[in-house]
C-alpha cells in the first residue's frame, strides 16, 4: 500500500465514492489474504498427516493417503499423484489432460495457492514429503 490519493480535484461526492471503493478493495484483499492463509494452513496440516501415514509400513500400498480408503483392483484402483508421488484413490484425484497424469486433491489445491519460494526447494505443502 503506502500510496496517497490526491482527491483535491474531486467533488465531495466523488471523493466519498473513491474512498468507498478503496475501502471495499481493502476489505476484499484482507478477506482473500485470510482465505489463502487458511488454505496454506490446511495444506501444511495435510502434508504432516501424510508424512505420518506414509511412515506406517506399506500403508500407502494398500490405502489412499488422502482419505484412507482401501484400494481394490476393479472398483478403487490406486493412482500415483504426479506432484507428491503418493498413491491416491479415484475419489481423491483428477486427471490432468495437459500433463497426462493424475493429481491428488491436496496438490491441486496447492497449485492454486500463490507462494514464493526457492525453485530448488519443494513447495511448502510437500515439505513433509521431501525434507
Q: Between the CA atoms of 5, 115, 103 and 98, what dihedral angle is there, to the nearest 10 degrees?
A: 60
Q: Rounded to two decimals, what is the model's pTM?
A: 0.64
- What angle do the packed helices 12-54 and 105-112 form, to 10 degrees? 150
The pLDDT confidence band at residue 131, using thresholds 50, 70 and 90, is: very low
pLDDT value of position 122: 55
Q: What does the pLDDT look like over 68-90, one tens digit per residue?
A: 999 998 899 999 999 999 999 99
Domains of the chain (ranges, CATH numbers):
12-126 (3.30.40.10)
> For 50-65, how does the pLDDT look when each residue is reduced to its tens digit (9 = 90+)?
888 888 888 999 999 9
Amino acid at each position: 500500500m503506502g500510496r496517497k490519493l490526491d482527491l483535491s480535484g474531486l467533488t465531495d461526492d466523488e471523493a466519498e465514492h473513491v474512498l468507498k471503493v478503496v475501502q471495499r478493495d481493502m476489505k476484499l484483499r484482507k478477506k482473500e489474504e485470510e482465505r489463502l492463509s487458511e488454505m496454506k494452513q490446511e495444506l501444511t496440516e495435510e502434508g504432516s498427516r501424510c508424512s505420518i501415514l506414509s511412515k506406517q509400513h506399506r500403508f500407502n500400498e494398500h490405502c489412499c493417503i488422502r482419505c484412507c480408503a482401501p484400494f481394490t483392483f476393479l472398483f478403487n484402483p490406486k493412482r500415483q499423484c504426479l506432484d507428491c508421488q503418493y498413491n491416491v484413490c479415484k475419489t481423491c484425484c483428477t486427471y490432468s489432460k495437459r500433463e497426462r497424469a493424475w493429481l491428488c486433491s491436496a496438490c491441486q489445491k496447492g497449485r492454486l495457492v500463490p507462494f514464493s519460494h526457492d525453485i530448488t526447494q519443494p513447495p511448502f505443502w510437500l515439505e513433509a514429503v521431501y525434507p
